[in-house]
């Protein structure tokens, strides 16, 4: 392929795209022949001419696509899909290059949106050392990798692209022409391997495969987190002196994968148990490898560098406590104390690896927890720190100390989530089986709360054999949690999350189940019990629910074990699907403020857990910007934030991009924790209250239209997306459920594929039209001075820019043409144009994304390569719907449709 990219401003980026495109073209000719290559080139040329305004090019392209047979279709889809993957690699490299150039140009000053710039801003804003230490001490962000898979790309293909990126970097730094030529040959072979690799999965992954896939970025995280900590400490020392420093992890990680059983029959208690073991095993392996590396490199001899007596004393004490260590250490010189101590640590780590939940006895010499390892490594670091070699040898050990504090004996804390309805049904069965209540389903909320609190103790003997299999599985999950707590401690357990929380008793039920499944006289505490408020109605009821819960004496006693800190999770995906982007965003904003007030009245501190999706229609967007947009007074330095699907690959596949993402998270968190941001004016709140009402009504009018569900199915590849084997989770909470039971991921994914990102902007235009008409000066003031409102508008603008109504018109032609569906189509197109005009009126631009020209240009160039995939997808949808679903061609059409889904997702760099 020889892409026409004359208007791409970055010369190196343009050259690299052409370079890789030419290689891909050569591979297509070699594997598929000259005719296939010319076909791809013809469609590429027509797509380019179409975007340049040629009136005939679109029809020519449609005619050509209609003539393609299945093999030709497969070649075209693979060609454009792989080219878009290559373009992503080149764009990522350009992004890293720009970051490095900017850093070099500004050095020694910090780059914008970096940790150094945040510390400098706080210092110039008048914060002294004591205030800065307080901010740093309070800061803790936990990034949670969730079990919602939206990464359409196979891990095999990601691996090929990662190796390709590495080869290109090697070519950049290779001066020897002969070696450079060899690397270019390897690059060509790598693209050939990618061409020959299946782009779609043949089956759904198992949950445990998802566990491994979801945390496949662990090597990048392992390396980058210490760098982030070191950068913060260096910046603090420069601005405030060495007395201010970070003494605990700034960023830690959690995961839902293997613990999220809400509507997922594949997540069972054995799977959750295996997940705990996997996370522990992987973390211990990292520590063991690190220890081994140090034992090779830290060949310090006491004859050359006298060390404090504490180190030899520790070695002697260990060998006395564990005599078998003497034989293990005998091969080492007695003067190499560092190696002797590191081999002692290594032996204990190996002993720790022998522990398991299945084994009932302890393992001699094993670490009880990560604190023991931390103490041993810190002893070595302190010993070296007292010598003249400290400035040469201490940094690497500090890195390991940071890794121990961050990752412990688990790479990520595992959350366990279940639907409130499942817990409630289990409780009702147990209340009946134990004789505590004959008809619990008839209890009022007040009576249920009273009964639960009254029967929390003493511990009951639960008649497990008298309840249903579903309820037995609930109790089995609690048994796993108790065994983990007893065997390993609770550092690997995150939160117990109740989805669809609608009453205070939903949370008290969780405490009741925990108490009555625990072992008597065991001193561990209940993990954080976290309500998840997901729908618009639940968000509005959340303050009253928490008020009732915090008045409950037994619950407050449990919360006291967590220093009176309550976690509350907010669901962005379902609330946005339920009420539309603007109304959901505003309800989430107000819910946080009201919940913060309730907590303050009860002398409780809040940590909000933001369940944001990867896409704009599910609360996505830049994480740093969302942190700065948090409501005033609701962020005290702690929060949890979900990350998922293609977002994980985009943020963590490349080490430099991962570093940038993490430093922006810390940058925004430092500024937000300072509480220096302006609170919104009363007039602003009043305006958004009115705008949200208008937006919600307009959005619900669309969704409640008689033929909307039929229109949605007709104009998007929803059916095909529901059947995609990209994740283990079913696409619906109920197999035969309607739109309300459809998960937010396929909802957004389907609209995105059809190039109409409706969930992220529908209702925004109508609401802004009223706002701009009623109070234009206030609207502009809000956009210029209020982080939250600007973020809301800018995200909608990006979604509009990624939408393409001309392409979506082709999908709309798949409908039956009824009056109801025509009305829906007209409403969508009108709202798109209204939203576009109203956002431009606020931003002052003449076109969408005028304020971010690089992104605008990226979308413009990409469209030329995504368009053929969209038009081919429409053609395949038409063929599939007109053919016999039982015919052999149906399977081939399904495979081709899946390929188009993969390619379009790669081109848009988003799915759902």
Going by C-alpha positions, the residue among 518, 458, 525, 474 that lies closest to residue 495 is 525
Per-residue pLDDT, 662: 95
Q: Write out the H or E segment, with its range, that includes residue 743.
A: none
Per-residue pLDDT, 13: 87
Lowest mean pLDDT among 242-246, 360-364, 379-383, 631-635: 360-364
Per-residue pLDDT, 625: 85
pLDDT of 860 > 50? The answer is: yes
Sign of CA dihedral 90, 92, 98, 103: negative
Measured between alpha carbons, how far apart are the two ends of the chain, in Å?
Answer: 29
Residue range 238-244: mean pLDDT, rounded? 94
Calculate the CA 151 to chain-centre distance. 11
Per-residue pLDDT, 678: 72
Per-residue pLDDT, 468: 95
Confidence of residue 890 (pLDDT cuts 50, 70, 90): low
Residue range 886-901: mean pLDDT, rounded? 78
Phi, psi of 571 (to 5 degrees): -95, 115
**Cis peptide bond prior to 421, omega within 30° of 0:** no
Question: What's the pLDDT tens digit per position in 14-47?
Answer: 899 999 999 999 999 999 999 999 999 999 999 9
Per-residue pLDDT, 708: 94
Phi, psi of 158 (to 5 degrees): -60, -35
pLDDT of 621 > 80? The answer is: no
3-state secondary structure 364-412: CCCCCCHHHHHHHHHHHHHHHHCCCCHHHHHHHHHHHHHHHHHHCCCCC
- As assigned by CATH, the class of the 416-673 domain is alpha beta
Structure tokens given for 863? 């469209």
Lowest mean pLDDT among 629-638, 686-695, 882-891: 882-891
Domain boundaries, given as residue ranges, for the chain: 11-205, 416-673, 682-894
Residue range 259-280: mean pLDDT, rounded? 93
Of 91-100, 399-408, 745-754, which one has max mean pLDDT? Answer: 399-408
More confident residue, 160 or 618: 160
Per-residue pLDDT, 731: 46
Lowest mean pLDDT among 110-119, 418-427, 896-905: 896-905
Per-residue pLDDT, 411: 94
More confident residue, 645 or 165: 165
Question: What's the pLDDT tens digit per position in 172-189?
Answer: 888 899 999 999 999 999
Structure tokens given for 709? 């569900």
pLDDT of 886 > 70? The answer is: no
Average pLDDT of the residues of the chain: 90
Confidence of residue 743 (pLDDT cuts 50, 70, 90): low
Going by C-alpha positions, the residue among 191, 170, 145 that lies closest to residue 20 is 191
Calculate the CA 171 to chain-centre distance. 32
Per-residue pLDDT, 153: 60
Lowest mean pLDDT among 301-310, 411-420, 883-892: 883-892
More confident residue, 262 or 732: 262
pLDDT of 734 > 70? The answer is: no
Vertex 902 angle, CA 897 and 907, to 5°: 125
Active site residues: 148, 577
Per-residue pLDDT, 5: 44
Residue range 646-662: mean pLDDT, rounded? 86
Q: Give the predicted TM-score (pTM) of the model.
A: 0.91
Question: What's the pLDDT tens digit per position in 50-99?
Answer: 999 898 999 999 999 999 999 999 999 999 999 999 999 999 999 899 88
pLDDT of 7 > 50? The answer is: no
Per-residue pLDDT, 286: 96
Query: In sequence order, what are the residues at sequence separation of 6 or more whose Cβ sits closer than 8 angstroms to the Cβ of residue 67?
Result: none
More confident residue, 214 or 887: 214
Confidence of residue 3 (pLDDT cuts 50, 70, 90): low
pLDDT of 342 > 50? The answer is: yes
């Amino acid at each position: 392929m020889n892409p026409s990219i004359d208007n791409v401003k970055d010369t190196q980026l343009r050259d690299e795209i052409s370079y890789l495109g030419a290689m891909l073209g050569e591979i297509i000719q070699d594997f598929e022949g000259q005719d296939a290559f010319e076909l791809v080139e013809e469609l590429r040329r027509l797509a380019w001419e179409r975007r340049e305004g040629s009136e005939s090019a679109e029809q020519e392209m449609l005619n050509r696509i209609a003539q393609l047979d299945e093999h030709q279709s497969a070649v075209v889809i693979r060609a454009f899909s792989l080219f878009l993957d290559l373009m992503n690699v080149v764009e990522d490299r350009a992004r890293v290059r720009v970051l490095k150039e900017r850093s070099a140009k500004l050095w020694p000053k910090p780059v914008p949106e970096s940790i150094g710039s945040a510390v400098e801003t706080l210092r110039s804003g008048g914060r002294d050392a004591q205030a800065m230490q307080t901010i740093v001490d309070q800061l803790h962000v936990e990034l949670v990798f969730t079990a919602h898979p939206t990464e359409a790309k196979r891990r095999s293909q990601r691996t090929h692209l990662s190796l390709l990126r590495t080869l290109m970097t090697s070519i950049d730094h290779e001066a020897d022409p002969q070696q450079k030529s060899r690397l270019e040959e390897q690059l060509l072979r790598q693209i050939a391997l990618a061409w020959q690799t299946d782009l779609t999965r043949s089956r759904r992954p198992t949950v445990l495969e998802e566990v491994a896939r979801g945390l496949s970025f662990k090597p990048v995280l392992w390396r980058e987190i210490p760098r982030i900590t070191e950068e913060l400490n260096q910046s603090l020392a420069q601005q405030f002196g060495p007395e201010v420093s970070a003494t605990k992890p700034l960023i830690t990680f959690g995961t839902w994968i293997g613990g999220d059983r809400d509507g997922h029959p594949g997540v069972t208690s054995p799977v959750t148990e295996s997940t705990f073991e996997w996370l522990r095993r992987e973390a211990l392996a990292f520590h063991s490898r690190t220890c081994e590396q140090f034992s090779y490199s830290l060949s310090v001899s006491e004859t050359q560098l006298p060390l404090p007596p504490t180190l030899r004393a520790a070695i002697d004490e260990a060998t006395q406590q564990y005599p078998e260590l003497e034989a293990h250490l005998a091969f080492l010189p007695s003067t190499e104390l560092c190696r002797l101590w590191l081999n002692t640590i290594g032996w204990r780590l190996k002993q720790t690896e022998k522990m398991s939940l299945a084994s009932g006895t302890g393992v001699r010499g094993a670490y009880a927890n990560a604190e023991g390892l931390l103490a041993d490594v810190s002893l070595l670091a302190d010993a070296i720190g007292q010598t003249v070699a400290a400035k040469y040898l201490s940094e690497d050990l500090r890195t390991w100390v940071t890794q121990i504090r961050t990752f412990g004996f688990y790479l990520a804390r595992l959350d366990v989530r279940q639907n409130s309805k499942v817990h409630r049904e289990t409780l009702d069965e147990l209340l009946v089986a134990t004789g505590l209540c004959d008809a619990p389903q008839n209890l009022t909320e007040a009576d249920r709360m009273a009964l639960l609190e009254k029967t929390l103790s003493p511990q009951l003997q639960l008649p497990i054999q008298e309840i249903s299999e579903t309820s037995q599985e609930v109790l089995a999950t609690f048994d796993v949690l108790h065994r983990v707590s007893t065997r390993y401690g609770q550092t690997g357990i995150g939160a117990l999350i109740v989805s669809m929380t609608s009453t205070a008793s939903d949370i008290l039920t969780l405490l009741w189940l925990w108490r009555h499944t625990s072992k008597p006289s065991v001193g561990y505490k209940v993990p954080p019990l976290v309500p998840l408020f997901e729908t618009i109605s639940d968000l509005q009821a959340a303050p009253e629910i928490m008020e009732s819960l915090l008045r409950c004496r037994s619950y407050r006693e449990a919360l006291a074990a967590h220093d009176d800190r309550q976690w509350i999770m907010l669901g962005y995906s379902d609330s946005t699907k339920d009420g539309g982007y603007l109304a959901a965003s505003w309800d989430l904003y107000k819910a946080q403020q009201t919940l913060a007030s309730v907590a303050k009245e009860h002398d409780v501190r809040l940590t909000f857990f933001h369940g944001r999706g990867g896409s704009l229609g599910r609360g996505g967007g830049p994480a740093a910007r969302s942190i700065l947009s948090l409501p005033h007074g609701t962020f005290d330095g702690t929060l949890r934030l979900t990350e998922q699907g293609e977002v994980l690959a985009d943020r963590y596949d490349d080490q430099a991009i991962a570093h940038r993402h993490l430093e922006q998270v810390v940058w925004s968190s430092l500024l937000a924790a300072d509480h220096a941001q302006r609170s919104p004016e009363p007039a602003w709140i009043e305006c958004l209250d009115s705008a949200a009402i208008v937006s919600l009504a307009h959005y619900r009018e669309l969704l409640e239209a008689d033929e909307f569900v039929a229109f949605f199915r007709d104009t998007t590849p929803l059916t095909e997306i529901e059947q995609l084997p990209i994740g283990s989770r079913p696409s619906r909470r109920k197999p035969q459920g309607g739109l309300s039971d459809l998960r937010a991921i396929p909802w957004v994914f389907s609209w995105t594929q059809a190039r109409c990102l409706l969930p992220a902007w529908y209702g925004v235009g109508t609401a802004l039209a009223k706002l701009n008409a009623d109070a234009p000066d206030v609207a502009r003031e809000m956009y210029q001075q209020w982080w939250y409102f600007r973020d809301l508008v800018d995200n909608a603008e990006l979604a509009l820019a990624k939408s393409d109504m001309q392409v979506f018109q082709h999908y709309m032609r798949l409908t039956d043409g009824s009056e109801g569906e025509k009305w829906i189509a007209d409403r969508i197109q009108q709202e798109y144009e209204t939203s576009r005009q109203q956002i431009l009126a606020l931003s002052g631009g003449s076109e969408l994304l005028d304020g971010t020209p690089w992104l605008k240009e990226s979308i413009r160039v990409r469209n030329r390569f995504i368009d053929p995939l969209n038009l081919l997808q429409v053609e395949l949808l038409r063929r599939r719907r007109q053919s016999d679903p039982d015919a052999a061609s149906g399977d081939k059409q399904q495979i081709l449709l899946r390929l188009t889904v993969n390619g379009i997702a790669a081109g848009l760099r988003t799915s759902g």
